[in-house]
Amino acid sequence: MALPLRYSFRNALVRWRSTSATVLGIALVVFVFVLLQSLAAGIERSSGNTGDPRNLLVVRKGSTAESASLIARQNFQDLRYLPEIARNPQGEPLMAADVLVLVNLPRRQGAGEANVLLRGVTPRGMELRPQVRLAAGRWFEPGHREVVVSAKLARRFEHFDIGQSFRSGSATLTVVGWLEGGGSAFDSECWLDADECRSLFERDMYSSFLIRPRDAAAGEQLMARIEADRRFKLKAEREVDYYRKQTMTAAPIKWLGNFLAVTMSIGAVFAAMNTMYAAVGSRTREIGTLRVLGFRRRSVVLALLLEGGFLALIGGALGCAVAFYWNGYTTATMGFETFSEIVFEFRITPRLVAEGLLFAVMVGLAGTFLPALRAARLPVIAALKSL
């Protein structure tokens, strides 16, 4: 005989104190799991949202990131007139050279210091990155020691308001505008003129080249040509592929999230077991009565499992709802690729919510199984005599 579902439902309402404890415990576990995973998702989205699929990024062979790459300035002249490179309406090759420099600057409200990435760009650099736009102020003018900083970084660092200046070593730069990177890695950068950047920070080489081929076929030919030429010792790949790989920072956060989730889930399983054992102990006579009425052991087990799974699902939904409050919240961490401040947003995706709910149900079922099994094995006479 199947056990009516309303029995489990009404029991959860009558014993609301133990029900609340179970739901809140699982909600806390799911909240931590989803929130930490959303950090990693935000970093991955920032890198994956960067670049233009039409562009190629060129760095030194053996370098793991732009910041670790050094390319001779002569290579820029050697490459820019290759026939595979597209031209703009003015007939100029769509190729840019960048210089990356790390500077240590103070955060707002005395919250210490952090490295900030300065990107020196040549005139075609802005043309090749249409996702970057000016949010306020104006673009920098070469030769005037001007810089345009990320609007998101401006909320985190001192002297980043338009019109203010900051100093790094012997260089003093004036902020003339804020840029928006459209949720990409460029939201963690400050831009200035490439040649001025080289001069101020005594860099004799470029860090990377950005190239737009005529078409996809020309892009394949150009990548093969650059990597095969022993004079250059360079490697080329699609810009979007390069940034998609730059997600080392997300890996330890995902590992921490999984570790904490497993650790807390073990505690949640034992807490659910304790709660369900207590619930079974207080319902011994009820279970004995159900057995006398003809309900089978497996019906009792199934009813308790459904009850535990349902309460865990409610807890998981509550945890996801609380975590969703932080969706889109902007924060920052140190990037392991550049060792600079990386700005990103918490991203609570539908997949994360589904994983959180599934995780909650699994914890609930695992914590309910042994108490349910014990309840089903209670001798009927002993159960009826229980107080």
- Please give the pLDDT value at position 151: 93
Residues 336, 270, single domain; the answer is yes
Total of domains in the chain = 2
- Please give the pLDDT value at position 148: 97
Residues 138, 204, single domain; the answer is yes
Strand-strand pairing, 171-180 and 146-150? parallel
Whether 108 is in a domain gets the answer yes
Whether 101 is in a domain gets the answer yes
Q: Does the pLDDT at position 2 exceed 60?
A: no
Residues 216, 298, single domain; the answer is no
pLDDT tens digits, 370-381: 777 776 776 766
Q: Which of 31-45, 117-131, 278-292, 300-314 has the lowest mean pLDDT?
A: 278-292
Whether 171 is in a domain gets the answer yes
Q: Which of 201-210, 219-228, 303-312 has the lowest mean pLDDT?
A: 303-312
Whether 143 is in a domain gets the answer yes
Whether 57 is in a domain gets the answer no
| Mean pLDDT calculated for residue range 348-366 | 86
Which strand (E) or helix (H) includes residue 59?
strand 56-60
Local structure of 193: helix, strand or coil: strand
Whether 105 is in a domain gets the answer yes
Q: Quick one: pLDDT band at residue 3, thresholds 50, 70, 90?
A: low
Residues 208, 335, single domain; the answer is no
Residues 259, 215, single domain; the answer is no
- End-to-end C-alpha distance for the chain, whole angstroms: 26
Whether 193 is in a domain gets the answer yes
Which of 343, 335, 344 is closest to 102 using CA atoms? 335
Residues 161 and 30: their CA atoms lie apart, in Å, by 39
| Mean pLDDT calculated for residue range 225-240 | 90
Please give the residue range of the domain that contains residue 189: 62-232
Residues 212, 324, single domain; the answer is no
Asked which of 200, 232, 264 is the last residue of a domain, the reply is 232
Residues 286, 326, single domain; the answer is yes
- Please give the pLDDT value at position 1: 45
User: Which residues are CB-neighbours of 80 under 8 A, at least 6 positions away?
Assistant: 93, 95
The string over 227-241, giving b where at least 16 C-beta atoms fall within 10 Å of a residue's C-beta and e elsewhere, is beeeebebbbebbbe
Whether 56 is in a domain gets the answer no
35-39, 250-254, 267-271 — which one is most confidently predicted on average?
Answer: 35-39
pLDDT tens digits, 270-311: 766 666 666 665 666 666 676 676 677 777 778 778 887 888
Q: Which of 28-32, 143-147, 383-387 has the lowest mean pLDDT?
A: 383-387
